[in-house]
Amino acid sequence: MKHTKKSVTLEAGTEAEVRRVAGERGISAFVNAAVRQQLQPARLRHLLEEMEAESGPIPEAVRNEVDALPWPG
């Protein structure tokens, strides 16, 4: 997998906690995983927008049925 190098700015306390959790050499992997996790909801929103554009909005009854389901776990 190809990698690119970027500079990021973190709050001092956040940076210190990342170092403690990820270790000096694991910071890039830790940040990469966090960014991937943050991107997932945006990808899902985009997919939903595409599906709604193609098929129309989700019916209210279906939304209510899904909202009533318990969260797994």
Please tell me which residue, 38 or 24, carries the higher pLDDT value: 38
Q: Where exactly are the structural domains of the chain? A: 12-68
Which residues are within 8 A (CB) of 30 and not within 5 positions of it... i.e. 6 or more apart?
Answer: 18, 21, 22
Q: Measuring CA to CA, which residue among 36, 33, 27, 37 is closest to residue 7?
A: 27
User: CA distances (Å), 20 to each of 5, 13, 15, 17, in order?
Assistant: 22, 11, 9, 5
Kindly report, residue by residue over 28-72, the tens digit of the pLDDT.
Answer: 999 999 999 999 999 999 999 999 999 999 999 999 999 999 988
